[in-house]
């Protein structure tokens, strides 16, 4: 007998993830602990193993789908039962696509004080069609209005995003035919259902529904704010539509949270790193024999740690309610890494402890694993301060966004040679622009300015902090 395998708990505050890859197929034999899917969560990709040996009876998820903890991932025929049966495992039936003759129409939803979809649906579409309360007529079948295709009172095969979209439009999912894997209802299925209703409404009104009306029907099903935001844009045939990746959506949610909840202020400064660069080049030659590279980022980490010792409130995290500040005694430095999939910030823990050479090796290995998406979940959490260095790409400055619950982030742009007054004459010097974005609820402008002044002093006279490093 096939048993369901549900997505287990993956870690604290992890409620689900997006399927990056399905590693098995129906009929495959798996061993206990063998990975069956790859799941992306918190910007890391982890493997989910089979709970026991057996054969895959059915798959409930596909690549790109979101899976919540506790949701069925697959059904598994235990190896003992499979060997006794001696026959192929029958697939678990998906949700029925056609209604049984004796299946009653689903009950109408409870009445609401407001009409959640009057402004979202095409004009002329009756509300009862979406609620599933009105029986389907012969005319409705003629224009292709879907009949109830899912058994009432049973869990519907639809993901959270699809359910939320259906609620926004007022669509009853029991009426929506499914075209996704294992009979799942997709966002496209919901939109197609709305278009069919729009065509029926046009037919009832005696108006034709030509091809160009389909785009109008789809647009009418979107919120008015979304339509206003796209006013004046290029026609659909002149644009390429690109779905955002799950990682990009996670980054977007985190950045939106930060920008809307933290009062950002950015303090700009610059440092003459001529001496620091000369020292870096000399030390890099010596480290080259070991295979490590002494980059500017390595030196920035050591300088930042030395400066954070003098400004401990900047090396801190703020509680979610904004009522308490946790000042860290350790120095866990987040390093922004540019990957092919988006910006990921792994954490270099206890950055004050390793030597300069060891720090260079650790950073190189951490960045390589991050770009390969093999970095662990624990390596993406717990930073007390973050450094974002865009110097390798270019630019004269930018305003980095704080990664909550941290209260500050250091942004570094590309160093450039420029004239500086030295003693009694101008001289060509290598100038590094940098800035500090900080949470103004915790850090005042004067404290941020003093931090930047102290960091500049360290960078311009590196002997002191490098001796300690």
267 is catalytic: no
Assign 3-class secondary structure to the chain: CCEEEECCCCCCCCCEEEEEEECCCCCCEECCCCEEEEEEECCEEEEEECCCCEEEEEECCCCCCEEECCCEEEEEEEHHHHHHHCCCCCCCCCCCCCCCCCCCCCCCCCCCCCCCCCCCCCCCCCHHHHHCCCCCCHHHHHCCCCCCCCCCCCCCCECHHHHHHHHHHCCCHHHCCCCCHHHCECHHHHHHHHHHHHHHHHHHCCCCCCHHHHHHHHHHCCCHHHHHHCCCCCCHHHCCCCCCCHHHHHHHHHHHHHHHHCCEEEEEEEEECHHHHHHHHHHHHHHHHHCCCCCHHHHHHHHHHHHHHHCHHHCEEECCCCCCEEECCCCCEEECEEECCEEECCEECCCCCCCHHHHHHHHHHHHHHHHCCCCCHHHHCCCCEEEEECCCCCCCCCCCCCCCCECEEEEECCCEEEEEEECCEEEEEEEEEEEEEEECCCCCHHHHHHHHHHHHHHHHCCHHHHHHC
Q: From the candidates 15, 256, 440, 453, which is the catalytic residue?
A: 440
Return the active site residues: 440
């Amino acid at each position: 007998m096939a048993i369901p395998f549900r997505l287990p708990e993956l870690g604290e505050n992890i409620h689900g993830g997006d399927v990056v890859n399905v590693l098995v197929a129906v009929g495959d034999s798996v061993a206990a602990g063998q990975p069956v899917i790859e799941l992306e969560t918190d910007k890391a990709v982890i493997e989910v193993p089979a709970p026991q040996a057996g054969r895959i009876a059915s798959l409930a998820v596909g690549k790109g789908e979101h899976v919540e903890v506790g949701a069925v991932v697959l059904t598994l025929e235990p190896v003992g039962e499979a060997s006794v049966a001696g026959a192929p495992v029958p697939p678990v039936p998906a949700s029925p696509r056609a209604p049984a003759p004796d299946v009653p129409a689903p009950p109408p939803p409870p009445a609401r004080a407001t009409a959640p979809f009057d402004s979202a649906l095409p004009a002329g579409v009756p509300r009862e069609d979406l609620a599933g309360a009105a029986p389907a007529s012969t005319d409705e079948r003629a224009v292709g209005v879907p009949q109830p295709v899912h058994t009432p009172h049973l869990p519907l095969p639809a993901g959270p995003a699809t359910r939320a979209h259906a609620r926004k439009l007022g669509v009853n999912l029991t009426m929506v035919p499914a075209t996704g894997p294992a009979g799942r209802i997709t966002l496209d299925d919901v939109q197609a259902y709305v278009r069919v209703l729009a065509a029926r409404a046009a037919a009832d009104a005696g108006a034709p529904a030509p091809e160009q009306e389909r785009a109008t029907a789809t647009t009418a099903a979107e919120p008015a704010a979304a339509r206003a935001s796209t006013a004046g844009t290029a026609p659909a045939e002149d644009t390429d539509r690109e779905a955002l990746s799950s990682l990009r959506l996670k980054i977007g949610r985190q950045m939106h949270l930060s920008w809307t909840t933290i009062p950002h202020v950015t303090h700009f400064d610059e440092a003459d790193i001529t001496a620091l660069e000369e020292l870096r080049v000399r030390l890099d030659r010596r480290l080259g024999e070991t295979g490590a590279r002494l980059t500017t980022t390595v030196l920035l980490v050591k300088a930042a740690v030395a400066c954070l010792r003098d400004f401990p409130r900047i090396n801190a995290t703020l509680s979610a309610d904004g009522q308490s500040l946790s000042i860290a005694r350790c120095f866990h430095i987040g390093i922004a890494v540019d990957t092919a999939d988006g910006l990921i910030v792994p954490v270099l823990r206890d950055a004050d402890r390793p030597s300069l050479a060891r720090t260079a090796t650790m950073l190189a290995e951490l960045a390589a694993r991050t770009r390969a998406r093999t970095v662990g979940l624990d390596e993406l959490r717990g930073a007390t301060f973050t450094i974002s260095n865009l110097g390798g790409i270019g630019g004269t400055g930018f305003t980095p966004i704080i990664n909550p619950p941290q209260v500050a982030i250091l942004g570094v742009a590309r160093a450039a040679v420029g004239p500086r007054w030295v003693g009694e004459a101008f001289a060509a010097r290598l100038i590094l622009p940098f800035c500090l974005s900080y949470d103004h609820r915790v850090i005042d402008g004067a404290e941020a300015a003093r931090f930047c002044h102290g960091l500049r002093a360290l960078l311009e006279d590196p002997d002191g902090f490098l001796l300690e490093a």
